[in-house]
Amino acid sequence: MILHRSLAAAALAAGVVFAGSALADPGVSADKIVFGQSAALDGPAAKLGQGMRLGLMAAFDEANRNGGIGGRKLELVSRDDGYEPERAVENTKALIEQDQVFALIGPVGTPTSKAAQPVATDAGVPFVGAFTGAGFLRDPALKNVINLRGTYDAETESWIEHLTKDLGYSKIAILYQDDSFGRAGLSGVQKAMDKRGLKLAAEGTYQRNTVAVKQALLDIRKASPQAVVIVGAYKPAAEFIHLARKIKLDATFVNISFVGSLALAKELGADGAGVVVTQVVPFPWDHTIPAVAAYQAALKAYDAKAEPEFVSLEGYLVGRLAIAALEKAGAEPTRQSFLDAVYNTGTFDLGGVTLTYGPGDNQGMDRVFLTVIQPDGSFKAVDTLGGSS
């Protein structure tokens, strides 16, 4: 649903009277609160935006079926940016100025978030739960930014720790997307390697929204690496692994959480067995975790055909965080009271998933989880590489 009315007209149409003649913040009316999302909904990264949207909608639908927030239903306006920064900026401006959203939620990607976040910050609009572990969004000066997931530095440190300690590897190469996302991953890997007195065996790059990885594979193959760590989305990562298997490159492949795990496994098919993906949310099939059980139920209620997976679980948890903050933001929530609710509450227990915020800390989770794709395309959670679960 796209809203084009001015704020004043919307307030009058809703028949809302506010104390002191002051208007509510945009996106808040008598019967609803509207959030906005700019994400890749089409193109080679579409499964990431679609997954985040699905999880958010499952959380919002769950809340709405239980009466909403103070009687207000939650709505989500999603705009497709194709994983391109320029379109993300256009969408963000449109969501704020035309759609009059209360907050931006679930944006996808580092280059797109890097372009869109300043627009949101300048407008004083909350920027919540971006699907990226880039460090710039963890800047404590960004008072309107709320992160759920851990950083790419944490993931890349986990990669190198497990590859060197569990498997005894020292020859490690990297494939990365040649933009701010890929370079954030490269920086993290280099820091983790430097910490251990190691140097990368080889580097290869590809351009965003392409699968042109053949030259990168040729560059990396020359080094005969024991492992290749990959900072990219599912289609180019899968293409690289397919080609590497074809030329018999005997290496362990390790992917970052942003890759889109289920989409990667489906793209890889039989070539996926043994491929490692680090995760920043719990196992989506572990119903012993109350938050995951709630996610599974909410997902089924919203879309009976949807499969549980890591991206939509992250979207669901972001949605649950937004709902929890709204519940604490007062009867007439404002953008500021929403943000204050996050920082002043400090710790949110979503049911076995704990998010903690505080002064100078706008990131809720820190953990990194290891998973390995199985021959049938399913995922296995493990504690060590080459070890037991």
334, 374: one domain:
no
Is there a single domain that holds both residue 122 and residue 164? no
Residue 294's closest CA among 279, 309, 284?
284
Residue 111 domain-assigned?
A: yes
Same domain as 146, residue 43:
yes
Contacts of 113 (CB under 8 A, 6+ apart): 88, 107, 127, 130, 132, 134, 137
HSE-up (13 A, CA, CB side) for residue 305: 0
CA gap 115, 154 in Å, rounded:
23
Question: How many angstroms from the chain centroid is the CA of residue 39?
Answer: 10
pLDDT at site 387: 59
Q: What is the mean pLDDT of the chain?
A: 93
Q: What is the pTM of this model?
A: 0.92
Residue 352: burial class (beta carbons within 10 Å; 0-12, 13-18, 19+) = middle
Residues 118-155 as b/e (b if ≥16 CB within 10 A, e otherwise) read ebbbebebbbbbbbbbbeebbeeebebbbbbbbbbbbb
Edge-to-edge strands, sheet with 32-39? 73-80, 32-39, 103-105, 127-128, 145-146
Q: Which helix (H) or strand (E) holds 91?
A: helix 85-97
pLDDT of res. 15: 41
Same domain, 209 and 309: no
Domain that holds residue 345: 7-150+286-356
Helices assigned H by DSSP within 172-213: 180-195
**pLDDT of 24:** 80
Whole-number Å distance between alpha carbons of 97 and 120 = 11
161 shares a domain with 144? no
Beta bridge pairs of residue 361: 358
Same domain, 21 and 100: yes
Residues 128, 239 within the same domain: no
pLDDT for the residue 8: 37
Same domain, 94 and 167: no
* Residue ranges in the chain modelled with pLDDT below 70: 1-23, 387-389
Gap between the Cα atoms of 266 and 15, Å rounded:
50
Classify residue 82 as left (phi > 0), alpha (psi -120 to 50) or beta: left
User: Which CATH number does the domain housing residue 20 bear?
Assistant: 3.40.50.2300
Q: Are 219 and 114 members of one domain?
A: no
105 and 142 share one domain: yes
**In the chain, how many domains are there?**
2
The reported pLDDT for the residue numbered 7 is 37
pLDDT reported for residue 99: 98
Q: Which of 345, 378, 350, 184 is nearest to 277 (CA)?
A: 378
Residue 249 tokens, joined: 């490159």
Tell me the C-alpha distance between 3 and 76, whole Å.
Answer: 11
Do 265 and 164 share a domain, yes or no? yes
Buried-exposed string 309-324: b where 16+ CB fall within 10 A, e elsewhere: bbbbbbbbbbbbbbbb
